[in-house]
Structure formats: structure tokens, C-alpha cells
Amino acid sequence: MAAAPSPLTLSRMKTPTLILLTAGLTSLGCTNSTRAGRSARRRQKPTAAASNTAAEMATIELTTLIRAPSERCFDLSRSVDLHVASTTDTGERAVGGVMSGLLSLGEEVTWSARHFGVRQELTSRITAFERPRHFRDSMVAGAFRRFDHDHFFVATESGTEMKDVFDFESPLGPLGRLADALVLTRYLRGFLERRNEVIKRAAESEGWRALLPSP
């Protein structure tokens, strides 16, 4: 749903990645020259290990243990209202598609939020759905080149093991991958961890009753 990314049409403003690259990478000691970059790529091909590392840096995996049934955790994770409540820091709100309630297969939501000082929009769609084990939300319009956010739920003796796999790619090619590694992965991990904490608190208390339909 952050994406999404969980449930999460792009404004024509600069993307977060571009803002970071133009304003932040210089301070990290990074410079960019198209000619020099092309020459360097001709001189040295990236190794398979380096390519694998870059791919890994664009995937975030989180596991959260929740003392609540998997059905409840699943439904809270697809709740538009809970997502809004969990993103007060970025002022996130639904401005299109499903505006409240629970998202189901094929449904879309457009989010407006402020990230890195810029308000922008991002639309995601539920592209896989198997309650209460798994669903995926995927970006259909937004600042990334792509993202897929898989949500997995495994029932345990004490409740539910909730796992997020957030796979994303910046829109700027090699320079975007550099931003993925240096900035965006850390930012998005924190965003998802805060969201998951809200899901956990709601699921383990009576808070879920205000967010979900009566059983």
C-alpha cells in the first residue's frame, strides 16, 4: 500500500529520485558525466556479482509477527483507511479510485502524498489476491519505473507472520540504481516499518473494529 507502496496519475513534477540526485548526491561525493560514464562502461563491464547486488538493493523484505488471526492482518493491510492513518507524516490521502474501505482484486487507488518535500500522486492496483495468504499491489502510474509490493501472511501458533517484499526500480537507469542503494531503500524501509507497526497495533487491540466490517 508504499506502497503502494500498498495500495498506493503522476503529477508532472520532478520525481523524488530526481530531486535527490540533483540536490543530494553531490554531498555524498557523487558526480555525473555522460561522456565519462559511457567511456567507463566501455572499459569495464559490470560483473554478475555487482549486478546481483544492485538488484538486491532494490528489494526490501520485512517480517512482522502479529498476535492476531491472519484474516484480520490481511484485511488491515488492504484497508485504505488504515493506510491513511499510518502515513500522517507524509500527509497521504486517497484522491482517486477506491477512496475508503478494503481493496480487492483489480481495484485501484490513487494516493497523494508529500515525499522529499514534493507533493505527488501515485496509482496502484491489486494485481494478485488470495485471502488470507497473499496479495500484491503494483504501481500503474507514479514516480517509480515500477514497483510490486507483495504481502504474505502465514498463520502461526501465536498469530500471524506478516512478510512484505517490496521490489522497485527508479526511473533514471544506472543513476537511479545509485539512488536506490544510497537513499530510497532506507527511506522506503522506514516508511514500511512505520506502516507495519500501525497494522500490528490495530490487529492486537480493539482498534481493528473501527477499520474492518463486522465478522
Residue 2 located in a structural domain: no
Residue 84 located in a structural domain: yes
Residue 156 located in a structural domain: yes
With cell 537513499, the residue in question is: 183
Cell digits of residue 60:
526490501
Residue 41 located in a structural domain: no
Residue 123 located in a structural domain: yes
Residue 8 located in a structural domain: no
**Nearest CA to 110 among 125, 95, 91?**
95
Count: domains in the chain: 1
pLDDT tens-digit map of 173-206? 666 667 666 788 889 999 999 999 999 999 999 9
Residue 34 located in a structural domain: no
Q: CATH number, domain at 100?
A: 3.30.530.20
pTM for this predicted structure: 0.74
Residue 42 located in a structural domain: no
For residue 186, the enclosing domain spans 16-23+60-210
The helix (run of H) or strand (run of E) holding residue 155 is strand 146-156
pLDDT confidence of 117, banded at 50, 70, 90?
Answer: confident
Of the listed ranges 21-25, 75-79, 101-105, 174-178, the least confidently predicted one is 21-25
pLDDT confidence of 14, banded at 50, 70, 90?
Answer: very low
Yes or no: say if 137 and 125 are a contact pair by the CB < 8 Å rule. Answer: yes
Buried b (16+ CB within 10 A) or exposed e, 157-187: eebbbbebebbbbbbbeebbbbbbbbbbbee
DSSP-H helix ranges across the chain:
16-23, 34-43, 48-57, 70-77, 80-86, 173-179, 185-204
